[in-house]
Amino acid sequence: MMKPVSSASLAPSKLRVLRFVSNLLSKAVGLVVLSLLGSGVAPEATRAQQASDRIRLNQVGFYPDAKKVAVVVGADAGSFAVVETATSDTVHLGTLSAAEQWDMSGEQVRRAPFSEVTAAGTYELRVEGLGVSYPFTIEQNVFRPVARAALKAYYYQRMSIPLKEEYAGQWARPMGHPDDEVQVHPSAASEARPEGTTIAAPKGWYDAGDYNKYVVNSGISTYTLLAIYEHYPEGAEDLSPSIPESGNDVPDVLDEALWNLRWMLDMQAPDGGVYHKLTHPSFQGMVMPHEVSAPRYVVQKSTAAALDFAAVMAQGARLYDDYSDAFPGLADSMRTAALRAWTWARAHPDVPYDQQAMNQQYDPDVVTGAYGDDTFADEFAWAAAELAVTTEADSFLAVASPLDRAPTVPSWGNVRTLGWMTLLEHRADVASAVDTSALTRRYRRFADELVQARTDVPYRTVMGRERSDFAWGSNSVAANQAMVLLQAERLTHDPTYVQAALANFDYLLGRNATGYSFVTGHGDRSPMRIHHRPSEADGITAPVPGFLAGGPNPGQQDAGHCDPAYPSDHPATSYLDALCSYASNEVTINWNAPLVYVAAVLGAEYGE
User: Which one from 210, 256, 373, 605 is the annotated catalytic residue?
Assistant: 210
User: What is the rounded CA–CA span in Å between residue 588 and residue 575?
Assistant: 16
Alpha-carbon separation of residue 400 from 1, 395, 405, 425, 578 (angstroms):
56, 9, 11, 18, 43
Give the three-state DSSP class for 202.
coil
Other beta carbons within 10 angstroms of residue 583's beta carbon come to 24
Please state, as a whole number, how many other Cβ atoms lie within 10 Å of the Cβ of residue 109: 23
Rounded to a whole number, what is the distance in angstroms from the first to the last CA of the chain?
25
Contact criterion met (CB below 8 Å) for 149 and 526: no
Number of helices and strands in the chain (H, E) = 19, 15
- Concerning whether 577 is annotated as a catalytic residue, the answer is yes
276 neighbors 299 (Cβ within 8 angstroms): yes
Inter-residue contact 251 to 229 (CB < 8 Å) = yes
> In sequence order, what are the beta bridge partners of 137?
61, 122
Strand spans (E) along 44-178: 55-56, 61-62, 69-73, 79-84, 90-95, 100-102, 107-113, 121-127, 131-132, 136-138
Report CA-CA distances (Å) from 175 to 156, 184, 289: 11, 23, 7
| Spatial distance between the Cα atoms of 466 and 72, rounded to a whole number of angstroms | 21
Alpha helices in 139-232 (DSSP H): 144-156, 165-168, 215-231
Task: Please tell me which residue in 238, 379, 469, 586 is annotated as part of the active site.
Answer: 586
Answer yes or no: 586 catalytic.
Answer: yes
Residue of 124, 386, 558, 577 with catalytic role: 577
Find the catalytic residue in 531, 558, 570, 605.
531
With b meaning 16 or more CB within 10 Å and e meaning fewer, what string describes 223-262? bbbbbbbbbbeebbebbbbebebeeeebbbbbbbbbbbbe
- 252-266 and 144-156 helices, crossing angle to 10°: 30
CA 470, 472, 474, 479 torsion-angle sign: negative
Whose CA is closest to 382, among 416, 413, 425, 346? 416
> Which residues fall within 8 angstroms of residue 301, CB to CB, at 6 or more apart?
188, 269, 273, 274, 275, 276, 344, 348, 351
Q: Which residues contact 166 (CB under 8 A, 6 or more apart)?
A: none
Spatial distance between the Cα atoms of 109 and 393, rounded to a whole number of angstroms:
53
Active site residues: 210, 531, 577, 586
